[in-house]
Structure 1
Amino acid sequence: MLKGESDDYVFDPETWLEEKEVKKIDLFILFGIAASSIALEDSGALESNFDPERFGVLLGSGIGGLPNIERNVTALNARGPRRISPFFVPGSLINLLPSHVSMRYGLKGYCNAVVGACATGAMAIAEAARVIESGVCDIVVAGGSESALCRVGIAGFSVIKALSTRFNDTPQVASRPWDKDRDGFVMGEGAGVVVLEDYEYAKKRGARIYAELTGYGLTADAYHITAPHPQGEGGMRAMEMALRTANISPSEIDYINAHGTSTPTGDSVEIVAIKNLFQDHAYKVAISSTKSSIGHLLGAAGSVEAIFSILALQHGVLPPTLNLHNSTEDSNVNLVPLVAEERKISHVLSNSFGFGGVNASLIFSKV
């Protein structure tokens, strides 16, 4: 776990639900409710004259209610089956996250959960775009949420040597994508949610439009349950598909928010995939990993990083790759080490890859 640098904000569950309701659900559901509420308020969509039957919710989680499962198994083993909470099952199911948001705001359109390991959040955004493009919904709340910081969650990732252990005494420098001393990722938790709308619908209601989702790509490696393809073949095809749906060339991408988890193999494979697809432009495009600052949010990573990408478009500031002192990659590749970079940009690409060989790439463009 990595504590944030700022103490200005402390998450208070009772800001979002009464105490008795908080106890009925896993933290990933609560995070998702909170992020959805913030996104909806910011969008102003609920104040517009919307059709609830065309307002959808597509939210997911990579793991779901693992802490809730752990607590109830502990209670079962210690005190027997009668000590299991009656809210155990509905408080752990991944689809209860979108259902809670649907019920909270009376949204009666397409409501579903997305599960795609660490690509979940990005996959939810891509699926939401498809739902809108198909004409099923005008607006969709989309994203991912995760809270797997419990003994079994940490032990599970640790036993497959996915987590960093070299920097246990200095955790703030443990997440270091592309650095020669990287040895695994740092688990984070939280949620990232966006509100997607049909472009004409959004303009008509006078919505504040942060960016346009112009392209997305979803692929599978069909290679290994945890390891990426050595040439990043599936990730490359996801990026290629996103470029094709956006109808832009690789040379038009200004910034890539990489999956970059700080694992010895995965970081380098992603750069190989980028080089294979982008060719000479791989040495001109800026690439960074925001996991260096917030850790790996697993199922929420893709949507949180999509938001980073959108804000980079908005402000013309590329987030840095922290703790990158000695890169293992070609020195001519700009990995935005240590310090943010100011640059006018028009198109950004966000990558998210997950266990099972699932890949999602999103392209956002300035409006």
Structure 2
Amino acid sequence: MTSKRGARSPVAVTGMGAVTALGWDVSSSWKGVLEGAHPARPVDLFETEGCRCRSAAQAAIPPIPSLTSKETRRLPRASRFAIPAAWEALAQADLLISNGRAKLPHTPLCLATTGGGMEFGERFLAEILAGRKGHLRWVGRYQPEQQALDLQRCFELCGHSVVIANSCSSGADALGYAAQLIWSGEAACVLAGGFEALTETVFVGFDSLRILTTERCAPFDRGRSGLLLGEGAGFLVLESLEHALSRRTRPFCLLTGYGQATDLCHLTQPSPDGGALCQAMESALAQAKLSSEAVGYLNAHGTGTALNDEAEARAYSRFFGAGWQTPRMSSTKATIGHALGAAGAIEAVFSVLALSTGRLPPQWNSPDPLPEVEQALARPLEAPRPLDHTMSVNVGFGGSNAALLFSRYD
């Protein structure tokens, strides 16, 4: 894509924010990822009696300084994760005025989720089934566009907003779409990210598929027993490099490539050969005019389920070559759980941090790895190393595959 002036503008990452089961901000979440924190705890948001699995990476809700306690209580849980994460990203990019208003009110929003404010819809249905009159406001706040409105009202934003619900690749797709707005010259600055809250419908649905683990999540391990559901939010401020430098803001890095492909194999199972995942990675690298050898760290999707990890391992072996050791790779879902629509955005934050610090998130809980990825898995206590490019990939239900490429800014 080209800008209105005819040349594609580099996309800079100038701010990041995150809320996970490991903490209320980027630094605490990153610390937990590096140290191998175990986030699973019994779910207390709804009844799990009768479920095979009864735990998840449930997050604590951060405070929202610009809202009263009454205003905060009216927000769906998803918004109560999204607003603090977006706040941190905007503040880090120096785009917040002291009272919480955004400095650039026309900033577009590119958001990702799979459940939105689903717990309000569940509450409404429960009231009706119990013979009571449910509040209609619960139905309205069930819609994912409501969380976009909550963000716009909190920061007094009036730009257009897009909500992407493309299963587990949604977060990466939202960032990719935001980058395309900047590459095309349609926007100079975009707030992009994903948010997700645990809900009974989603939890019980995954449990009925028998893909939730009752043990530790062990991505790419031969003994893996399933995924750990998580929740939270991740946001990045993306700007054209010219716009960022005009504000005297130094970028963390550049987002240089985005690829997306669909394998059309199965509603819930990835294609066994990983062909579409390879295509997404190839597309991201082609945009940056780089080869696979340039990638120093790969944040893999790695859910810890039997079919996903096998397909991913085959795809990486095919893409990077048999016995590959570079890039080093890991799945951070072992420490934060699988945050569904927010996963791609949160994991993009970790990929940027790996690039800027040289520290590799270790692959925790996988003592007996699959042979296709064994040599490449990052391990605890690995020394920091200089990285020029990192990649984050996501694989979702319906055959959705997405890849983001981040490059050092010097």
What TM-score, normalized by structure 2, do the two folds share? 0.81
Measure the CA separation in 2 of the matches of 1:28 and 1:331: 35
Question: How far apart in 1 are the matches of 2:323 and 2:248?
Answer: 37
SS at match of 1:178: coil
Matched, 1:112 2:157: no
Q: Show the counterpart of 1:151.
A: 200
**Aligned-residue offset at 1:14:** 4.9
The letter of the residue matching 1:146 is E
Q: Name the structure 2 match of 1:34.
A: 84
1:322 CA displacement: 0.6
Specify whether residues 341 and 357 from structure 1 end up closer, same or farther in structure 2 by C-alpha distance, changes over 3 A only. Answer: farther
Contact 1:66 1:153 in 2 (8 A): no
TM superposition shift of 1:12: 3.4
Change in 2 beyond 3 A, CA 1:348/1:281: farther
Between 223-232 and 70-79, report the one with greater CA deviation: 70-79
Q: Is the 8 A contact 1:323 1:338 kept in 2?
A: no
Change (3 A) 1:179 1:337: farther
- TM-fit CA distance, 1:51: 5.2
Shift of 1:102: 2.0
1:176 partner letter:
A
Quote the residue 1:75 is aligned against: 127
> What corresponds to 2:75 in structure 1?
25
User: Gapped runs of 5+ residues in structure 1?
Assistant: 168-173
Q: Distance in 2 between matches of 1:186 and 1:235?
A: 22
Give the corresponding residue for 1:12: 62
Matched position secondary structure for 1:256: strand
Taking a change above 3 Å as real, the CA distance of residues 325 and 193 of structure 1, as seen in their structure-2 partners, is same
1:171 corresponds to: none
Matched residues in 2 for 1:124 and 1:101: separation? Answer: 15
Contact kept in structure 2, 1:324 and 1:338, CA below 8 Å: no
Percent of aligned pairs sharing the same letter: 34
1:223 CA displacement = 1.3
Q: CA–CA distance in 1 between the matches of 2:206 and 2:131?
A: 28
- 1:273 is aligned, of 315, 337, 346, to 315
| SS state at 2:142 partner | coil
What's the CA shift string for 1:310-346, capped at 9, x where partnerless?
A: 0001111000111111112237522113445421111
CA distance in 2, matches of 1:261, 1:144: 18
Deviation, structure 1 residue 38: 1.0
Contact in 2 for aligned 1:251/1:281 (Cα 8 Å): no
Aligned to 2:11: none
CA shift for structure 1 position 182: 0.7
Q: Measure the CA separation in 1 of the matches of 2:254 and 2:96.
A: 20
Q: Is the 8 A contact 1:184 1:262 kept in 2?
A: yes
Q: How many residues align?
A: 354
Amino acid at match of 2:301: H
**Residue in structure 1 matched with residue 144 of structure 2 by the alignment:** 94
Task: Check whether the contact 2:323–2:372 (CA below 8 A) recurs between aligned residues.
Answer: no
**CA deviation string 1:130-168 (max 9, x = no partner):** 1112222111000100002x3332211011122113x2x
Matched, 1:350 2:403: no
Which amino acid is 1:359 matched to?
A: N
Task: For residue 323 of structure 1, give the secondary structure of its aligned residue in structure 2.
Answer: coil
Alpha-carbon distance change, 345 to 113 in structure 1, aligned in 2, over 3 angstroms: same
Give the superposition deviation at 1:222: 1.3
Residues 211-290 of structure 1: matches in 2 within 5 Å? Answer: 211-279=253-321, 282-290=324-332
Where in structure 2 are the equivalents of 1:203-218 lying within 5 Å?
203-218=245-260
- Counterpart AA for 2:118: L
For residues 331 and 297 of structure 1, do their structure 2 counterparts lie closer, same or farther at Cα, with a shift above 3 Å needed?
A: closer
RMSD: 2.3
Task: Determine the C-alpha separation between the residues in 1 that align with 2:178 and 2:85.
Answer: 17
SS at match of 2:362: coil
Give the gaps of 5 or more residues in structure 2: 1-19, 23-36, 40-58
Task: Flag the structure with higher helix content.
Answer: 1
Counterpart AA for 1:128: A
Paired with 1:243 and 1:152, the residues of 2 have a C-alpha distance of 37
More displaced stretch, 326-335 vs 309-318 = 326-335
Deviation at 1:97, TM superposition (A): 1.9
The alpha carbon displacement at 1:6 in A equals: 9.3
What does 1:163-174 align with in structure 2 at a 5 Å threshold? 163-165=212-214, 167=215, 174=216
Counterpart contact for 2:391–2:403, Cα < 8 Å: yes
Q: Per-residue displacement from partner, 1:102-123 (whole Å, max 9, x unpaired)? A: 2322322231111111111111
**Corresponding residue for residue 367 of structure 2:** 325
Deviation by residue 1:327-367 (Cα, 9 ceiling, x = unmatched):
12237522113445421111001001111111110000010
Give, in whole Å, the separation in 2 of the partners of 1:282 and 1:359: 21
Task: Rate the CA distance shift 1:339–1:159 in 2: closer, same or farther, 3 A.
Answer: farther
Give the partner amino acid of 2:124: N
2:120 aligns to what SS in structure 1? helix
Q: For residue 60 of structure 1, what is the aligned residue in structure 2?
A: 112
Secondary structure of 1:52 counterpart: coil
CA distance in 1, matches of 2:94, 2:117: 30
Secondary structure of the equivalent of 2:79? helix
Q: Does structure 2 conserve the Cα–Cα contact (< 8 Å) formed by 1:63 and 1:117?
A: no
Q: Which residue does the alignment assign to 1:306?
A: 348
Q: Normalization by structure 1: what TM-score?
A: 0.90
C-alpha distance in 2, partners of 1:145/1:57?
13
Q: 2:366, 2:145 → 1: CA distance? A: 38
